[in-house]
Structure 1
Amino acid sequence: MGTSLPLPKYHQIYLVLREQVQEGRFDQDGVPGEHALASQFNVARITIRRAMEMLVADGLVSRRPGLGTWPVHGSQRAGGATAPGKQQKAHLTGLLENIVNMGLRTSVQVVDSALVSATPSVAKALSIEPGTLVYKSLRVRSTDAGPLSYITTYVPQSVAEFTRDDLEREPLLMLLEAAGVEFGGATQTISARLADAQVARHLDVSVGSALLSVTRVVHDMNDRPVQLLLGLYRPDRYQYQLQLSRVGNIDAKVWVSEELSAQFH
């Protein structure tokens, strides 16, 4: 794989697959077989096998004879990673206005848009039942410098209906607002992940490159989740800036956020 990370190939692939498992990529169809993964990452099957053994050892996947390899969710693990609902989350002020502004200042390519059944992980984030129909959209945003972000969004069909053409004309938040959604705020988690082959191709980076990862749930005024966004951003073209100030008395001063802005080029 074309990467400068000082890690063996099998460990790089393990990290990529681990992130995909945790975000629910394989909930419906299971993890691809060794042949398919070896072709995707352009490595030998033994390399894939070592990566899969690490996932099994971590309790993230289970290999079932004759049935393939499937994710093991938090409630099924014995002492596994922290469940998504237990992770710390930050409420970011000024976020929605900033997102719309970015959408208006960048170009968008709609890679895919379809009505699908919500996977368990998507359903949990949107507080709906698994199998509920949601609009899944995959978009790549770019600036004059090139591709900036690879964004997957999910919106329950009951919240709003829109077409691929609509997504090519306006930012999704503006479409939701036009459908009558009154936004109350958003909950966002920022972390990092590595680019897999599909993402690397769209963002013009090497497989295994570090990306800024954003998981965002947008709520309406009644605190109902109306959109789930899974965004991957090139850190060389996009950054968050959080403004902080100190509050409290001299013995217990703490830093609190006042504003969030995004910069991209």
Structure 2
Amino acid sequence: MTAAGRLPRVNSSPAWDPAREIVVEPARPEPLYAQVARQLQAAIEDGRLPAGTRLANEIDLAAGLRLSRPTVRQAIQTLVNQGLLVRKRGVGTQVVRTKVARPLRLSSLFDDLAGLGGTPGSAVLVNRLEPAGPDAAARLECPGLGEVRRLRRIRTVDGEPLAVMNNYLPPDLPAPADEELRGHGLYQLLRTAGVRLHSAQQSIGARLATPEDADLLGEQPGAALLTMARTTYDETGRVVEYGWHVYRASRYSFNLSLTNGPA
């Protein structure tokens, strides 16, 4: 191992000319893998390694840096865990797009994505009335409910899948058409229909992707997903929507604003 190594050229699309360097210094207290990860991260964040860039394989990277393959693998895994790189079977390791950071407020994902400068879209998988089982009736806080409108959509941004959205709506609300759901956020459609949204209760969690999740979101089975469940009320206190959604953790995060409470 030498005192310094240089990162070899990166295999990528013809539009990107790499010629970038990473210097590793064994004398530094920072582990070698962390040095590589830190400099790769800087190149991703400042745009030198754009989204979609395909890195050379671990063997070539290790040879070019004069480092062991496990060291390079650990550096790459660090950035995979942070959502900056993704491993794809048959493709290799690629730089992913910057995460969508969404503020927590009473708004739809569609509108938030548009506000962040992305191009949101939706693929409607389910939009129908169906018998309301005990779970749907409980979620809508309406015992004895006979029917429920069930929605299921894939939300995309710039053509890339980001989330799978599931919703229950009371059957007496105006039914949104598939075309409306493809071009608008659900909350916008509810407001247009005269529903006055007032408040919501929301919980956030995480789980691993099932094979079905992975197929819909373009992830690997077992990939990290964020989950969100929300019950939304109108100004009379009636439940007008219950949603349960999963988001790609590699592409999505929630932002929370905290204020200082009383001492």
Q: State the TM bucket, normalised to the shorter chain.
A: 0.5 to 0.7
Conserved in 1, the CA contact under 8 Å of 2:111 and 2:185?
A: no
In the alignment, what sits opposite 2:131? 117
Partner SS for 1:95: coil
Q: For 2:151 and 2:108, locate their aligned partners in 1 and report how far apart those are by CA, in whole Å.
A: 20
Candidates 187, 193, 199, aligned match of 2:201: 187
Tell whether 2:237 aligns with 1:223: yes
1:129 CA drift (Å): 2.9
SS of 1:191 mapped into structure 2: strand
Select the structure with the greater relative contact order (CA < 8 A; seq sep ≥ 6): 1
Number of the residue aligned with 2:111? 101
Q: Does structure 1 conserve the Cα–Cα contact (< 8 Å) formed by 2:124 and 2:178?
A: yes
Contact 1:213 1:232 in 2 (8 A): yes
C-alpha deviation, 1:102, in angstroms: 2.3
Instruction: Tell me how far 1:151 sits from its aligned partner.
Output: 0.6
Contact 1:185 1:218 in 2 (8 A): yes
Q: CA deviation at 1:158?
A: 1.3
1:196 aligns with 2:210: yes
Task: Say which one has the larger Rg.
Answer: 2
Contact 1:149 1:232 in 2 (8 A): yes
> 1:245 offset after TM fit, Å?
2.0
Listed one character per residue, the Cα deviations across residues 132-180 of structure 1 (whole Å, up to 9, x for unaligned) are 2111111111123721000111111112322222211221111111111
Q: Take 2:166 and 2:110, find their aligned partners in 1: how far apart are those partners?
A: 16
| Identity fraction in percent | 29
- The 5 A counterparts of 1:1-265 are 95-97=105-107, 99=109, 101-102=111-112, 104=114, 105-130=119-144, 132-144=146-158, 146-249=160-263
Q: Which amino acid aligns with 2:239?
A: P
User: CA separation of 1:179/1:114 partners in 2, compared to 1, >3 Å: closer, same or farther?
Assistant: same
Provide the C-alpha distance between the structure 1 equivalents of 2:189 and 2:158, rounded to a whole number of angstroms.
25
1:181-237 Cα distance to aligned partner (Å, 9 max, x none): 001111101011222222110101122222100001111001111001111000111
RMSD across aligned C-alpha pairs, in angstroms? 2.0
- Write the deviation string for residues 74-120 of structure 1: whole angstroms up to 9, x where unpaired: xxxxxxxxxxxxxxxxxxx9612364522644111112211111221
Amino acid at match of 2:233: H
Instruction: Find the aligned partners of 1:118 and 1:110 in 2 and give their Cα distance.
Output: 20
Query: Where do 5+ consecutive residues of structure 1 fail to align?
Result: 1-92, 250-265
Q: Name the aligned partner's letter for residue 157 of structure 1.
A: P
Q: TM-score, normalised by structure 1?
A: 0.55
- Partner Cα separation in structure 2 for residue 235 and residue 206 of structure 1: 12
> What residue ranges of structure 2 are gaps of 5+ in the alignment?
1-102
